[in-house]
Amino acid sequence: MNHIRTIAKRELSAYFATPVAFIFIAIFVALSGAFNFYLGHFFDRNQASLEGFFSYHPWLYLLLVPAVAMRLWAEERKSGTIEQLLTLPITTAEAVLGKFLAAWLFCGIALALTFPMWITVNVLGEPDNAAIAVSYIGSFLMSGAFLAIGICMSALTRNQIVAFIAAAVTCFVFIMSGLDIVLGAFRGWVTPALVDTLASFSFLSRFSSLTRGVVDLRDIIFFASMMAFWLFTAVVVVDVKKAA
Amino acid sequence: MTVMVELDHLSRSFGELRAVDGINLTVNKGEVLGFLGPNGAGKTTTMRMLAGFLKPTSGTARVCGHDILTDGMRAKQMLGYLPEGSPTYDDMTVGAFLRFIAEIRGYTGSERQSRVDLVAQRLALTDVLDRPIELLSKGYRRRVGLAQSILHDPPVLLLDEPTDGLDPNQKHEVRTLIAAMAPEKAIIISTHILEEVEAVCTRAVIIGHGKLLADGTAEQLRANLPGGGSLDDVFRFITTGNAPQAAA
């Protein structure tokens, strides 16, 4: 447990060692605001709600979360520090979890800094604050699931760009798997049960039910098991490929 | 004599290539073992298996009695390891990096700081503790790598090419440090610089194509070559089969 904290601390300070972290946070906050006001027509809707704001989060995460995750293992492999790290008396799982928690906390900081939006909507009207709180938690959970995919892809390669693209594409498939663009490719030749299973993997539909303020335990378990699955896979990948 | 490191038919293959092929070896306390061999002979692969970075394909090794396969965590705690090229987190300062290592090694609070101060002093890093590692010269970086390997005062030290790329003064400093630590530890140094063997090692082994070819003191190794010669000649004779006349 202490090892995980030590590694997470080091990773988090590595994010802030360069201006990239601040640029990233600024972009996230600015884009999430811009999407809300321009694409989400925040004022025209004339509703005190952040549903429009949250509906763009999956798309923001699609680009930004793989960028946060891509360096986590690819850089260690490229610079050779993976040998230093994994010959310390720690387990691979501790290293993966430490890195994941640092990155997740980083996303959490970016997400928390969108709080002026929450204040704005409260000044303008009387929103359902419980629904907004649930949406924030849902958004945070979703970023964790994206990150776990990103870490796994980062462990597969020493090239950060490859890690970024592989993660973005995988995340895209999971966002879209509830929509016809993905389901249409399967309908007709696989059983309807399989199509339904595929649809149930959709980040978009899971997340949108949370943003309506509906706390369904199944959605939370879905994101949690997504993280568990991809982190476990990342541990296996690091163990198998570390010296390659 | 206490056996500190024991390699037991240690082998590792990469696909068809048998990089390390059934090496048996013991290293006792107080010994500085020079681990010699041409590039690609399997030195680094052997070191990596001992350090717990690579899994052996077959065979095993014990560090202070702890099997690297069944009791890997304990084995790692007994080891200080300087990987080849001494990779460190370049964006960290020397102090932050050493504090990170100390924390992983289980030191907290004032003990952590005193450990860091001690190794910094020992390797003359005190003046650069606040400098980012990426701005340091190669000699300093190597010393940072050494500092992290001896921070927890381990009974066994594995140093993969510790003086590679250093200038003569820095080489001398590193060797002096190794010699000073030698009586208390078992130290394995991989190198292809043969002067190093005579300067610090009490014993040397030569490997080639993953197999142990020779084992002994520098004197004993020289006896391998009919007619005698320098260690360079002996090395060439053992690893290629060419007598010095043929090589020249």
Burial class (CB in 10 A: 0-12, 13-18, 19+), A86: buried
Closest CA to B163 of B131, B192, B198: B192
- Strand order, beta sheet including B186-191: B79-82, B156-160, B186-191, B32-36, B203-208, B211-216
CA distance A44 to A37: 9
Contact at CB, B48 and A83, closer than 8 angstroms: yes
- The average pLDDT across A24-40 equals 86
Q: What is the pLDDT of residues B177-217, one digit of tens each?
A: 899 999 989 999 998 788 888 888 999 999 988 898 888 88
Q: Which of B51, B96, B103 is the closest to A87 by Cβ?
A: B51
Tokens 């597969």 sit on residue: A156
Angle at the Cα of A125 from the Cα atoms of A121 and A127, rounded to 5 degrees: 70
A65-A68-A69-A75 Cα dihedral, nearest 10 degrees: 160
Which chain A residue has its CA at the smallest distance from B82's CA? A84
B139-B141-B142-B147 Cα dihedral, nearest 10 degrees: 120
What is the pLDDT tens value at each position of chain B, 248 positions in all? 788 999 999 999 988 888 999 999 999 999 999 999 888 888 999 999 999 999 999 999 999 999 999 999 999 999 999 999 889 999 999 999 999 999 999 999 999 999 999 999 988 899 999 999 999 988 899 999 999 999 999 999 999 999 887 888 888 888 998 999 999 899 999 987 888 888 889 999 999 888 988 888 877 877 777 776 777 777 878 887 776 554 43
| DSSP percent split of chain A into helix, strand, coil, nearest 5 | 80, 0, 20
CA distance A131 to A47: 14
pLDDT at B234: 78
- Residue A59 pLDDT > 80, yes or no? yes
Check residues A121 and B50 and name the one with the higher pLDDT.
B50
Domain coverage including residue A238: 2-243
CA distance B169 to B166: 8
Total count of domains within chain A: 1
- The average pLDDT across A79-103 equals 95
Distance of CA A93 to the CA centre of its chain: 19
Query: Residue type for B7, please?
Result: L
pLDDT at A98: 97
CA distance B7 to A21: 46
Confidence grade of residue A110 (pLDDT, cut at 50, 70, 90): very high
**ipTM score assigned to the predicted complex:** 0.89
Query: Residue type for A41, please?
Result: H
pLDDT at B191: 85
pLDDT at B248: 39
The residues pairing with B23 across neighbouring beta strands, listed in sequence order, are B10
B88 in reach of chain A (CB within 8 A) = yes
Closest CA to A138 of A207, A46, A200, A67: A207
Closest CA to B144 of B116, B169, B167, B165: B116
| Alpha carbon of B214: minimum distance to chain A alpha carbons (Å) | 28
Query: Residue type for B94, please?
Result: V
Residues 6 or more apart in contact with residue A30 via CB below 8 angstroms: none
Q: Residue A242 corresponds to which tokens in the numbers above?
A: 């570390």
Q: For the whole model, what pTM was predicted?
A: 0.91
CA distance B14 to B57: 9
Q: Residue A18 corresponds to which tokens in the numbers above?
A: 């360069």
φ/ψ (deg, to 5) at B82: -110, 105
Residues 6 or more apart in contact with residue A142 via CB below 8 angstroms: A57, A58, A61, A203, A206, A207, A223
Burial class (CB in 10 A: 0-12, 13-18, 19+), B241: exposed
Residues in B touching A79 (Cβ below 8 Å): 87, 90
Q: Measured in Å, how far apart are chain B's first and last C-alpha atoms?
A: 42
Centre a 10 Å sphere on the Cβ of residue B247 and count the other Cβ atoms it contains.
11
Residues in B touching A14 (Cβ below 8 Å): 89, 91-92
Q: Which of A6, A17, A80 is the closest to B83 by Cβ?
A: A80
Contact at CB, A6 and B85, closer than 8 angstroms: no
- The average pLDDT across A121-137 equals 89
What percentage of residues in chain A have a pLDDT greater than 70? 99
Q: Residue B223 corresponds to which tokens in the numbers above?
A: 């006896």
Contact at CB, A81 and B89, closer than 8 angstroms: yes
> Which B positions 130-169 lie with beta carbon below 8 A of chain A?
148
Check residues A83 and A51 and name the one with the higher pLDDT.
A83
pLDDT at B247: 41
Residues in B touching A18 (Cβ below 8 Å): 91
Best interface-test mutation with B: which of A1, A10, A18, A86 has the largest number of B CBs within 10 A?
A10
Residues in B touching A6 (Cβ below 8 Å): 100, 103-104
Residues in B touching A83 (Cβ below 8 Å): 48, 51, 53, 83, 87
Q: What is the pLDDT of chain A when averaged over all its residues?
A: 89
Contact A73, A231 (CB under 8 A): no
